[in-house]
A and B are shown apart, each in its own frame.
Chain A
């Protein structure tokens, strides 16, 4: 449904110029007015975005134990510790980074490809399309907490629905979905695909509908079959959307927290404990906030590098 008619970026110049200079940007009103409009948001923005972004760096340069009165300056120690094998944090931190890396590596291909297939299906004209689109999207509106406790139950090795139906199909019905590898990864990736497929599919769908239909007609005239049309019209047309989806999916997967927190609790051992699980535990349960802040900046830097790499790769592919 089109909710707002045609967009008008850069309203066109009005036909009859008026004498006063109060048009367009309304210089006539008081110079304070814009700041009054901005003020309520800016108070929030400074307090909870801008100041914390910088304050976090300050925290990371201290031995900031929340429970202790003194917070001694420690320079870059929290950072160097992370890169010093054998330090209190480095082993666990890199294990958790590895877990996040694995989850991202395993989940992103599925989260990029499967929603595209679903979007291609939903982009056809058929009766009931709206219903199916809603059904596939529905899990996405649920929170990760619901998804986590639900799948923890479905994947229970003894009483879960998944093993129950596998048994009925004559397959092994005792798969340890949440307590052993590689099953724990299969579970975490699978439930994430189930949960967020609709989100990516909807973005793809918008991209598909932006492709000029005359390109398909032209390709048909040239004798291109369905597959060739997909390869030479659809995929190139989706390139910007694909970049967007790949980027936000990598970032979302690297932020994984709720699924392992609720389903595997990091098991087996700490193999599926994600970086954010470890950072949150270290900072907000053990209150080693300086060290946890340092870890969050290291992780953020990693994500920044991956995003940049991602853009570069897509740029390359364009030539």
Chain B
């Protein structure tokens, strides 16, 4: 983060500055409450009993602390095997991320650093598809996924999303910024292109690869529309369509639904707190995802 315009609120010494300073933080804290309170309510409700969740007056600390919400969703014999969905989501998001990193880095490198007939056309077409709205692919990709026999399997949510052009574009831009001298030195030492890519380029590209990995994981983990329609049977779902199922099955049994919400939120919130700068940087630099 570079320089910001002159700060208005310096350590206040006189009363007027002090009041301004208090107001300033009051606004900040009010905003924080608005953004964080709903999440805390979800967490709090997930530890309430069925009746306790809707008992007036509503309380932030459960009157009677209960884990029935969690034990209900961890029961794998129901039509809502939430733990299974959690594992499915993990497999899909991890596999998807790996696939994106491998394919996008290889292609991005070729587009940035190799000259070959068709390169500019390929790049133009790939980037051009970034402007096609996703819903256009709903019907044809459903039919293609069905053709491969992937309907109702995790492959349906793991693979097609990796074809998106964002990763290729993002990594190509980064590879272009690396000095060519590094590769030339390796080439003179007799390394081939793959060796250069693996031993010189990738080690230098950890920050953009981490950014892409985190964004890909989050996108896939949170994906909702597509899995709602391609994952059909209870045991093949991921968490987002699973939450819709849960809401339908338990309608007013809020601790169960909120426990599901907590389970779907915790991994991404942990990732966010660990990799915050990658996510925020990725978003602010691209603005293309989302």
Q: Report which A residues bind B (CB closer than 8 A).
A: 1, 3-4, 7-11, 14, 22-29, 31, 33-35, 37-38, 40-42, 44-45, 47-53, 55-56, 59, 66, 118, 121, 123-126, 128, 132-139, 141-146, 148-154, 158-159, 161, 164, 194, 196-199, 202-203, 205-206, 208-209, 213, 216, 226, 229, 244-245, 248, 251-252, 254-255, 257-258, 261-262, 276, 279-280, 283-285, 289, 292-293, 296-297, 299-300, 303
Contacts and interface: CB of A to CB of B under 8 A. Distances in A.
A198 B139 CA distance: 32
B285 interface: yes
Given A25-B114, A244-B287, 19 more contacts: A3-B278, A3-B281, A11-B178, A33-B193, A37-B107, A49-B137, A51-B140, A56-B137, A124-B4, A136-B35, A143-B268, A150-B261, A154-B38, A229-B5, A248-B288, A261-B228, A276-B135, A280-B225, A285-B229
Contacts of A197: 35
Interface of B: 1-9, 24, 27-28, 31-32, 34-36, 38-39, 41-42, 45, 53-54, 56-58, 99, 102-104, 106-107, 109-111, 113-116, 119, 122, 125-126, 129, 132-144, 159-160, 162-165, 168, 174, 176-181, 183-184, 187, 192-193, 197, 207-208, 211, 218, 221-225, 228-229, 239-241, 243-244, 246-247, 252, 254, 257-258, 260-261, 264-265, 268-269, 271-273, 276-281, 283-285, 287-288, 290
Nearest to B140: A52
A1 B119 CA distance: 34
A137 B272 CA distance: 9
A186 to B, nearest CB: 15
23 contacts: A3-B278, A3-B281, A11-B178, A11-B180, A27-B115, A35-B116, A38-B122, A45-B165, A53-B129, A66-B143, A123-B5, A132-B32, A133-B280, A135-B35, A137-B280, A139-B35, A141-B279, A145-B222, A199-B283, A283-B142, A284-B139, A296-B136, A300-B136
A141 B165 contact: no
Nearest to A23: B184
Contacts of B164: 49
B222 A144 contact: yes
B4 A123 contact: yes
Contacts of B38: 139, 150-151, 154, 161, 194
A198 B268 CA distance: 15
A169 to B, nearest CB: 14
Contacts of B211: 3
Given A41-B106, A137-B280, A209-B4, A47 B144 contact: yes
Contact of A4 (B137, B177, B287): B177
B103 A202 contact: no
Contacts of A33: 114, 193
| From A27, A44, A196, residue with most partner B Cβ within 10 Å | A44
B193 A26 contact: yes
Given A45-B163, A209-B2, A159 B136 contact: no
A120 B3 CA distance: 13
A292 B139 contact: yes
A145 B224 contact: yes
Given A146-B265, A209-B3, A296-B138, A135 B32 contact: yes
Tell me if A's interface is mostly helix, strand, loop or mixed: helix
A251 B31 contact: no
B240 A213 contact: no
Given A23-B184, A40-B103, A203-B287, A149 B140 contact: no
Q: Which 4 A-B pairs have the closest CB atoms?
A: A143-B222, A52-B140, A145-B240, A41-B107
B163 A49 contact: yes
B235 to A, nearest CB: 18
A283 B106 contact: no
Given A41-B106, A138-B269, A52 B193 contact: no
A269 to B, nearest CB: 20
B257 A149 contact: yes
Contacts of B183: 26
Contacts of B244: 145, 148-149, 261-262
Contacts of B178: 8, 11
Contacts of A226: 8
A136 B32 contact: yes
Given A22-B187, A34-B119, A14 B240 contact: no
Q: Which of B138, B139, B162 is packed against the most chain A CB atoms within 10 Å?
A: B139
A37 B241 contact: no
A161 to B, nearest CB: 6
Contact of A146 (B99, B132, B261): B261
A44 B163 contact: yes
Nearest to A230: B5
Contacts of A292: 138-139
